[in-house]
Amino acid sequence: MNQIKLLTVDDEEGIVEFISKIYTKKGFLTFSATDGITAVELFNKERPHISLIDVHMPYSPIDGIETLRRIKEIDKGAICIMLTRITDKEKVEAARKLGALHYITKPIELEDLDKVITEARELVNKKD
C-alpha cells in the first residue's frame, strides 16, 4: 500500500498545521487548505484517501457542507470526516446524507481523531 494521503480543510491555520504535523509524523502524506474552494481543487488534483473538513468556515467562499458536496461529486467513495465546534443537528444530518463517515467536535481530542482516522485508514486499505 502506498502512503495514505490526508487532506485537512479548516479556516484556522493552527488546526491545519497541528493535524498535518501529527499525521506527517505518523507516515501520512498530508495536504491542507484553509478554504473550501482550494480544498476541492486540491482534492481533484491529489485524490487524498481521507479528508478532514471543518463545517463552519466563515472566511471561506463555501462552507464545509458545500465542500463535502463538491468532493463527493468528484468521488462518491471519498472518505470524509467533518470537524466542527457547533453541534448543529441540521448540519450533522446534511453531512451524513452527503456521505460523511464521521463527525468530530472541536476542540479536537487527539484520541478521538486517531480512532476515526484508524477506522478510515482500514476502509482505504479494504478499497485497495
For 59-69, write each residue's pLDDT tens digit. Answer: 899 999 999 99
Whether domain 5-127 has CATH 3.40.50.2300: yes
Residue with cell 487532506: 7
pTM of the shown model = 0.95
pLDDT single digits (tens) 93-111 = 899 999 999 999 889 999 9
pLDDT band for position 92 (50/70/90)? Answer: confident
Is the per-residue pLDDT at 1 higher than 60? no
Q: What is the CA radius of gyration of the chain?
A: 13
Residues 6+ apart with CB under 8 A from 108: 15, 19, 83
Q: How far is CA 66 from CA 7, 49, 51, 126, in A?
A: 16, 19, 14, 27
- Mean pLDDT over each residue of the chain, to the nearest integer: 94
Q: Where are the domains of the chain?
A: 5-127
Instruction: Reduce the DSSP state of residue 103 to 3 states and report it.
Output: strand
Q: What is the pLDDT of residue 83?
A: 94
